[in-house]
Structures are given as structure tokens and as C-alpha cells.
Structure 1
């Protein structure tokens, strides 16, 4: 089962707000895709949250775009910063990304976001959102959301 960003924000607004804040804290994040031979590839990427969607934009002909054309599965890890203080915790989004073809929707996005041209634009469908944080300097707290399931919270000493 998958859901778009808007469905996630409706289901878990507090967690969604925290996740967006973590992604907005830095410009560049780490995208994992699946290479042609099945091995993982990690690449830098900017994530864009607009109009109830998580958008992934990338340079035309990039290897990560080719990976997503072949296999839409991805994982996106928020930039942890310098590591001294990860306000909001560590967050990761997994799912599938599908390219938006040239047409009115991509044109509207281009007009609003003004990305470098030419570019690939992918809309995402989420399969999992995970936030890991430390509470009271004692507990490791892992929150896991999957479409159609309640939010799970795991607390470890």
C-alpha cells in the first residue's frame, strides 16, 4: 500500500510537520536508488514539499533518474547537519517515485519552483516514514508510519 505526502500529513500531522522541518533545515539530502545491477546508489538531492506532494527533481539524464525509470523504489534520508544537534531527530522516507511527463502539471511546477532546465520531476508514493530521536538523553525513540497502519512508536533504553 502507498500514499502521497498529503495522505501522510492527514494521517499523522504532528509527525509530518516534524519530518518536513527536518528536511527544510538543510537544502541537500541523500537519495538511495537501485542501480541496473541491483546494488544501491546514493546521490545528493533536494526534496520539495508542495501542494500535498513530495517532489524529487533532478538533472536531465542523471543516473538517479535512470535508476528511478528502471525501478521506482527509493529511500530519502534527511541531512543530519554537522551531527552536534539533530533537532527533530533523524528522518527517512521510503517509497516509489514516478516521473511527471511534460504537460500542464510539470509546467505549473516549473513556473512555481523555477528549477534549472532541463530536468526530471518525480512524484512520490510513500511506503514508510521513520523518525529516530533521543528522549530525555536516555531513550532511543523510533516512530514508524506505513500507509493504512497506525503509527508505531518503539522506545529503547
Structure 2
């Protein structure tokens, strides 16, 4: 499911997630190396035209990882004070490289990335938000395609 599908299914959580990512420019992307071990890299993300986009420098290791194995996890920047106002947010899914020149041109018009670049759109498999409620509960909201948000509370 793409970002627009998630937004239609869970508009409140989607807005919270988008705002959380919008608070900072750089976030952390986890990909899988050839040997299956994780690689983490800094990354800028964009929410445009109903999609969550990942743009990368040409032949960057993270882009090569995604070409080989499209699975990823994206972690929101915790912020300078690490208080994570709005909660901790993670998105998992698959990245699909965009080869269509019209789609890339539309992205370039809005974002103006350095050229050349790799562009991936995402297919979401999970969105998780974790936060503290009333200084008492650790709340975990978990969304997966086709399912309503599950909310877990721990003291």
C-alpha cells in the first residue's frame, strides 16, 4: 500500500507521522547489505502526490542495497533534545525504484534534487508510533495494510 492508501485508511495517524517526519530534514534509513546484515544511512524523505519518496545519490550503497533487496525500515529523527515530541515513528516496507521519466521529472520540479539521482517510491508494510501518555503509559500504535491500528499500553 502506498502513502495515499495509508492516509485514507488511517488519516489521524498518517498526519501525525507526516508531521513528525516534517519536523526535521534528515532521518535514518535501514537497508540490507549483500550478506544480509543491516546498513543504516542518513536520508531525506518527501511526502508528495500520495507517495512517500526516497531520493539518493547515484550508486550510493543504500540505493544499491534497495535495488538488490527492496526491504527497508525508516526511523524518524529523534530531535536535538531527544525528547521526541510527537513520539518515535518507524515505517517499514519495500522501495520500488522509479524509472519513469515523467514521474522523475515531476519530482524534480518540486524537490530540485542534485542530478543524477535514484528515486524510490515506497510500499508500506508497517507504521509504528511509540509515545508516552500522561507520564504513565508507553503507548505503541501499530498499523499494517488491511488491519486497523492496534494500540498497546504499558505502564
Sort the TM-score into its range (normalised by shorter chain).
over 0.9
- 1:109 and 1:57 map into 2 onto residues whose CA distance is 10
CA–CA separation in structure 2 for the residues paired with 1:141 and 1:129: 14
* Secondary structure of residue in 2 paired with 1:101: coil
Q: What do residues 19-47 of structure 1 show as CA deviations (whole Å, max 9, x unaligned)? A: 00110000000000000111000000001
Aligned to 1:4: 2
TM-score normalised to the size of structure 1?
0.97
Aligned mates of 1:63, 1:85 — CA distance in 2: 30
Given candidates 18, 42, 47, the residue that maps to 2:40 is 42
1:135 is aligned to 2:133: yes
Q: 1:71 aligns with which of 44, 69, 76?
A: 69
Aligned pairs, how many? 155
Output aligned runs, 1:17-32, within 5 Å: 17-32=15-30
TM-score (norm 2): 0.98
Which stretches of structure 1, 4 residues or longer, exceed 2 Å deviation after superposition? Answer: 82-85
Report whether the alignment pairs 1:62 with 2:99.
no
Shift of 1:70: 0.2
Q: Which runs of 5+ in 1 are unaligned?
A: none
Unaligned runs of 5+ in 2: none
Give secondary structure in 2 for the equivalent of 1:81: coil
Question: 1:91 maps to which residue?
Answer: 89
Please provide the CA RMSD for this pair.
0.8
